């Protein structure tokens, strides 16, 4: 089972961008992904999830691991 961090990084790679680039493009803090990876942050806000999902061309449910496709 993928963690949130793993899913985000996998989707970024498929899109051809780094996680840092995605955060920069979306106006998110550079520490967002490192906080998720390290466990300092257990999840993301609804608005952040929506931004990321739209950027990565997936549904919020897929991004959060609620669905497999």
The token pair that represents 41 in the structure block: 């942050």
Q: Are 11 and 63 in contact (CB under 8 A)?
A: yes
What pLDDT score was predicted for residue 35? 92
What pLDDT score was predicted for residue 41? 87
Q: Are 39 and 3 in contact (CB under 8 A)?
A: no
pTM listed for this prediction? 0.89
H or E element that contains 13: helix 4-15
Cα(51)–Cα(48) distance, integer angstroms: 5
What pLDDT score was predicted for residue 1? 47
pLDDT in tens, the chain (69 residues): 468 999 999 999 999 999 999 999 999 998 999 999 998 988 899 999 999 999 999 999 999 988 876
């Amino acid at each position: 089972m993928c963690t949130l961090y793993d899913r985000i990084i996998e989707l970024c790679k498929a899109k051809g961008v780094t996680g840092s680039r995605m955060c920069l493009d979306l106006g998110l803090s550079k520490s967002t992904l490192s906080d998720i990876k390290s466990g300092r942050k257990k999840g993301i806000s609804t608005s952040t999830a929506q931004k990321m999902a739209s950027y990565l061309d997936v549904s919020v449910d897929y991004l959060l691991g609620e669905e497999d496709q």
